Amino acid sequence: MGNVDLNDIRLFVAVVQAGSFSKAADLANIPKSRLSRRISRLEAGLGTALMDRSRRGVLLNEVGEQFYLRAQQMMQAAEAAVNGVQGRLDTPGGLLRISVSTEVGRGFLMLHLAEYMRRYPDVVLEVEINNKKVNMIQDGIDISLRLSLPEDGNVVARKLTDIELGLFAAESYLQRAGCPESPHELHGHTLLNKYDGPEWRFVCRQHCVHIQGSCKLSSNDANLLGQMVSDGIGIALLPCFDNMLRSGGWVRLLPQWRVDTVPLYLVYYKNRGSTPNVASMVDFLLEKSGRR
C-alpha cells in the first residue's frame, strides 16, 4: 500500500464505471491527461497493468477485473462508513441541558417533555429549573427558556408565545374579603406580587389603571404565589397556564380588564443552533407553540 494512493483507486473505479477516460474526466471534473497519469501511477505502484486503452474505451485485463471487484467493495465500504458517521451526527443523541424558570417549567415545558423524549430516545435531558439569571456558557446550558430578551449579541432568541396573565383568587378568599369590581378596589385587598414580573397595569377600552398597592407577600416564584392563592391568602397576577388553573381551583377576577402579555423566548447560542440536539428541541418547542 506504500506505493499506492487510495485516491487513485477511486479514480480507477470511476474510469471503469464511466467506460472511458473522457467521460470519467468530465464526471470527476479533472483534465483527461491528469486522469490518465493517475491511473498509470496506480499501475506502476501495483507493478502491473490493469487495463488496455483503446478508442472504444477501456478494457480490463484479468488482473484488472479482480482488482476492480475488490476496489469497488472498498469504495462501498468507505462510503458506508462515511454515511454512518454523518448519520450519527445528524441524529439527536447525548446530553442536552435546558434552563427554565419555575413557572415556565411547570406551566409549559413539562407538558411536552414526555413527547420529546419518546420522539428522540437517544437524547439525555438535564433540566435546570430556577429563576436566576443564567450564564449559558459558564453554566454549560444549551437552551434557555426565559421571559425577557437576552442582551448577549451572540445568542439567538426565538419567540415561542405570549403568555397571558390574569388576576386570580380562591373562592375562600373572596367569600371572606369580597370580590373586587374594578382595579381601584384592589387597594383594599391582600395582594401577592411577583417582584420580578410585570407591573399591575389594567386596560379596559380607553381606561388604564396602574396598581401600586402594598403587598402581603412578594416572591420571584409564581408557583409559590399560586399556592398562596390556592390557600386563600390573597390575590395574585399570574400566568394563565391551564394546568395551574385546574390544580388551584382559582377564580379569575376582572376578566374584562386586559393585562399586558409576557413574551416567552427560546434562547441558544448561534454556533449551537445547527447541532442535532439543539435543533431538535428548538423545532419541537416551536411546533408545540404553533410557530412552525
Could you give the CA distance from residue 193 to residue 216 in angstroms, rounded to a whole number?
Answer: 8
Which structural domain, as residue segments, surrounds residue 182? 165-260
Q: Check whether residue 119 and residue 227 sit in a common domain.
A: no
pLDDT of residue 234: 94
Q: Specify the CATH number for the domain of residue 43.
A: 1.10.10.10
Say if residue 177 is in the same domain as residue 41.
Answer: no
CA distance 285 to 265: 11
Domain shared by 144 and 209, yes or no:
no
Separation CA 69–CA 121 (nearest Å): 40
Is there a contact between 170 and 231 (Cβ–Cβ < 8 Å)? yes
* CATH code at position 239: 3.40.190.290
Instruction: Say whether both 145 and 202 belong to one domain.
Output: no
The per-residue pLDDT for 51 is: 87
In-domain check, residue 1: no
Domain shared by 252 and 281, yes or no: no
Q: Which pLDDT score is estimated for 2?
A: 58
* This prediction's pTM: 0.64
**Cell digits for 222?**
409564581
Same domain, 251 and 180: yes
CB 162 within 8 A of CB 289: no
| Closest listed residue to residue 18, CA positions, set 58, 52, 55, 74 | 58
Q: Pick out the chain residues at pLDDT < 50.
A: none
Q: Tabulate helix, strand, coil % of the chain (nearest 5).
A: 45, 25, 30
Say if residue 188 is in the same domain as residue 248: yes
Distance CA 278, CA 85 (A): 19
Number of domains in the chain: 3
Instruction: Specify if 114 maps to a domain.
Output: yes
Residue 55: per-residue pLDDT = 67
Radius of gyration for the chain, computed over Cα atoms and rounded to the nearest angstrom: 33
Do 158 and 267 belong to one domain? yes
pLDDT of residue 244: 60
Please, what is the Cα angle at 284 between 158 and 238, to 5 degrees? 65
CB atoms within 10 A of CB 206: 5
The rounded distance, in Å, linking the Cα atoms of 198 and 277 is 33
Residue 254: which region, alpha, beta or left (left: phi > 0; alpha: psi -120 to 50)?
left
Whether 147 contacts 263, CB under 8 Å? yes
Give the whole-angstrom CA distance, residue 177 versus residue 197.
25
| Helix 62-90 with 6-18: angle, nearest 10 deg | 110
Q: Is residue 146 part of a domain?
A: yes
